[in-house]
Chain A
Amino acid sequence: MNDTILKLDNITKIYGNGVVANKNVCIDLRKGEIHSIVGENGAGKSTLMKVVFGIENASSGTITYKGKEVHFNNSMEAINAGIGMVHQHFMLIPSFTVVQSIILGMEPVKHGIFIDFKKAIAETQELAHKYNFDIDVTKKIADLSVGEKQKVEILKTLYRNAEVIILDEPTSVLTPQETVNLFNELRKFKALGHTIIFISHKLNEVQQISDRITIMRNGESRGTYNNEDITLEKMTDLIIGRDLITDYDHLRCDFPDMTKIMKVEGMEVKHKTRYVLENVSFAVKRGEILGIAGVQGNGQAELVRCITGLMEATGGKVILNDQDITKYSIKNKRKKGLAYIPEDRMEDGIASPASLSDNIISTYYDRKDLNNKFFMVDKKIIKETEKLIEKFSIKAKNSKQKVGSLSGGNIQKVVVAREYNTNPLCLVAEQPTHGIDIGSAEFIHTQLIDMRNKGAGILLVSADLSEVMDLSDRIIVFYDGKIVAYIKDVKNVTENELGLYMLGVKHQTAEEIGGALND
C-alpha cells in the first residue's frame, strides 16, 4: 500500500489575468490512502484538482499517474484513466432514476442498439451492494436525500472504474449523521483498494478520516504530514496567515451615537433535516464595521440572502432601526435604509450592457431631485454620476460608457459608489474586494470606513481574513451555519485564534457568543 499512484511535480498554474493559482505544488498520493488537502478559500485546492481532472491545463509541471506521465485535455480522459471527481455541486438530473444517472454516457447495450436496462440495474445494484450503499437504484433523483444524491455521484465514478476518487468539500451539504455514513463508506473504499482525495476546510473531520494531510496556502503546498504527526493547532497555523496588514486606524473616528441599527435574532434556515443556518443572532451598531469571518460555504451567503430579502428564512427576525423588516420586499428594505453590495458583481451588482450612469442610479432612480414631473432629468443624473466618478476615482471614458467594459476594480467602485450614495443606515458588504486589484481594494476600504465614520453600520462578510481583520471593529466567526465565536477586541486577537474557530477546531460558549447581540 505504499506505492505512489499519483504524483504532482511542481505544478504551477497562472491564469490569463496574471493570478497565480498554484505555485510549484508537489504532492504524492499513495495507493489506498485517504489523503486530505486542506486550506481556506483561494488557497489553490480547487484549481489543483481542476488541473488533475483535466478541466484546466497546468502552466508548468508534470503529473505522473501509475508511473506514466499523463496530460489530460478534458475530464473524459481523466475519467477513462480511472480518476473520478465528486463535485460540490451535483450534476444530476431530477427526473432521471439512479440507474439512468449512473449509466448516462456509458450505457450497456443489447442487440447493438437498445439499452440493456436489466443489465444496468443488475450492475448498479451490485456496485451499490459491494460498497455498502443502501440505495434503491430505481428511485428518481428528485426523491433522494442530499446524502443519497452524493452516493449516486460517487457511484458514477465507481461505475467508471475510478481508482482515485476526488471529493470536493463533500460534507458541506450533509447532516452530521450523513457525514458519519460517508466516512464509513470511505473506509470501505480504502479497504477495497481505492485512493481518496478529500478536500476540506473542516479540520476536525480531516483529522478523523485522513491518513495523510497536505496543507495549502496561497497556491503553495506547506507540506504533507501524517495525520498522527500533526495537531489541529499546527494545521491552523500553516493554513491561516496574514500577508498584508493594513492599518486604517488613522482614518477611523468615533461616531457619538452608537445605537444598534440592525439586529438579527435567531435566524434559521432549514432544508429538510439540515440546518443551513442555525440560531444566528447578532447586532450591528451605527459607526462600526461588524465583520463576519469564515470559510465560504458555511452559511454566510444564506445569511446575507435572508437579510437582504432574496431568500426566506425558516425562522428568525431582522430588525432595522427598531422595525421588523424580516418579510419586507427588497424595495421596502432599501427604503428603510438597507443597502447591499452583492458578492457576484457581474451577475447581481450591475447590468453589464447598460451605461455607467444607468447603473449608478439603479437603487435611487426615483429620487425627487433627479426627476421632474414626467421625465427623468438627464442633466442632473449625469451631474450626479460625474460627482461620484470623481469621488471614487472611477476610470471611465464618460458617464455613458457601458459599465461591463470597465475593469473589475472600477466596476466594483461603481457598485460601492451607488450603495454609498443611498446614504444607508446599514450596509451589507459581501466579498467587497474579491478579485480586484490592490489599489481599488484599498480605495474601497477607505470608502467603507468613511461610511462607518459618518454613522452607517456596516456588516462585512468576507472570506479574506486580512480584510476582515483590517476593517472590523468587532468580529463574529461562522462555521457550519452557526456563530462559533464573537470577538469584541479585534486589536488583540490573532489570525491563528480566528483560524481555530474558522476551521472548526474551537468553539466559544453560548454566553460568549451571546455578546454578539447583547453587547
Chain B
Amino acid sequence: MSAMRRLLILTASVSMCAVLALAQSRGGNWPTNGGDAQRSGWVGADARISKDTVKDLQLLFKLKLETQAKGLRPLMPPLIMGRLISYRGFRELAFVGSNADIVYAVDADLGTIFWQKHLEYSTREPQVTASTPECPGGMTATPTMSVPGVAGPRGAPVAAPARGAPAGPVNNWIAGVASVYAISSDGRLHRLNVSTGDDILQPIQVLPANSRTSNLMMVSNIIYTVTSPACNFSRNAVWAIDLTADPPKAASFALSAGEVAGSAGPVIGNDGTVYVQTSGRLLALNPGDLALKGYFTVPGGGSDAGPLALQYKSRELIVTTSKDGRIHLLEARTLLGSQQPVSFQTMPLAISGSLSTWQDADGTRWVLAPVWGRNGTSPNGSVTAFKVEEQAGKAVLSPAWVSRDMISPLPPVIASGVVFALSAGKSGTRATLFALDAATGKELYSSRNLVAASASHAGMTVSNGRVYFSTLDGTMYGFGMFMEH
C-alpha cells in the first residue's frame, strides 16, 4: 500500500472517529419512554450508527438488576442522560426503573451501576402484593426527565452549566440540579438527584397507592400519566401533576368513557395538547387542567396501543389504532374542532404496543407498527412500515415493507435510517435484536443467540450509538458500537 494511500485511509478513519467522538462528547438524551413528547421512538441522526456500520453492533454489556417476578415489564427501558458532569466524573447515565420500586442509574459506557435507589413504600394504604396481568403491582411507570415539548428528533446536547456558574438553589420541584422523576407503587412522586439518586425533596403523594400507572411524561414542568385499569380500587384517570406548585398539584380527568389498557401513557402534541387512547375514544385534553378539547370515537374501540403524534409537512397528525387492528390517521386540527373528525384507516393488522415514526432525508414521513401474527410472508410477527402520503389533499398511509419474521415484536426505535426491532420471543425462548434498513426493511444485523431470555414488553431505547432493552429475568442489555476504553 502506498504511503499516500495509507495517509488517505488514516485520514479518513481518523476523520470518522472524530465525528463519532464529537457526537459522543456532546451526549444526546432520551428523556422519556419513546424518546420524546410524541413518543416517536426516533432519535434522528446518531453519529455512531449508520446502515453501513450497524453490522458491527456488539453486545457491550448485560446487567442483572433486582426485579419482582410478576408482569411482563419487570424492567423499564432506560432514560438516557448523555452527559452528566457529576462529582464522580463525566457520565452517560441510563436510568432504569424496576417493578421492585428501584430506580437504577447505570453507567452506559461501562455497564455498571452508578447508583441505585429503593423507593420505600410509605403511605397509609397497605402495600398490595398480589399480582395479575392487568394489575401487576410494584412500580409500573417508566420514570421521566424533563422532555422538550417540540416535535422532532432528539440528540441535542445536554445544557451543562458553564464552569464556575452558580447552580440554582434546590428548594422546589424544578429548580437546581437535573433530576429524574419517578412515581413509586405507593403513589408518591420522587424527585431524584441524577448524581446520587437521593430524594431531593420529601416524596409527596400524588396518585392512589397500588394503582397501575402508565409511563410518565414531563413537559413544561407538568408530569402526565394515566392510572388504569382501576387496580385496587384506584381511579381510571389522566393526571397532570404541576411541579411549579410547591407542593405539586395534581389535576385529573376521569376516564368515564373507558379504560386505558396499555402502558404507553399520554403523548403531547406540538401545542401541548395531551392525547390519551382509551378503549372507546382518543381524547385530546388541555395541557395543565386536562379540560376536554376534543375526541375521536375509535371505530370498534381503541386498542391498548398508545397514540402517536407526528409532523407531516406543516400539519400535525395523530395516529391511533383500534381493537380490530386498523391504524387511524387524523388531522390534529380536526380532532380539536367541534365536529367528529374523519380518519383514514388501514387494513386490519394485529398491532400490539405503540407505533413509531420517523422522517427520512427526503422528507418522507414513515410510521412503523409492531404486528403480532401473520402479515404477508411473516407468519409470527413483523415490523410493518407505512409511508405517509397525500391523496386528494388527505394524508393516508401507504404500505412500504414488512420485515422478516419475528415473535411478539416490540415497538421499534429508529436512528440514522436504521430501525431497531426486538423479537421479544415467547416464554422459554430468547429475544433477538434486529437492525433493519429503514427504507427497505432489509435485515442488517441480528443478535442471534446473544440474548439469553425473552424480552420485557416495556420497550426499547436508542441513544448515542447504543440500543437498550431488558429481558423478563431482569437483565438489562446494552448493544452498541465499540469504543475503546
Are A and B bound to each other? no
Chain B contacts to A: CB under 8 angstroms: none
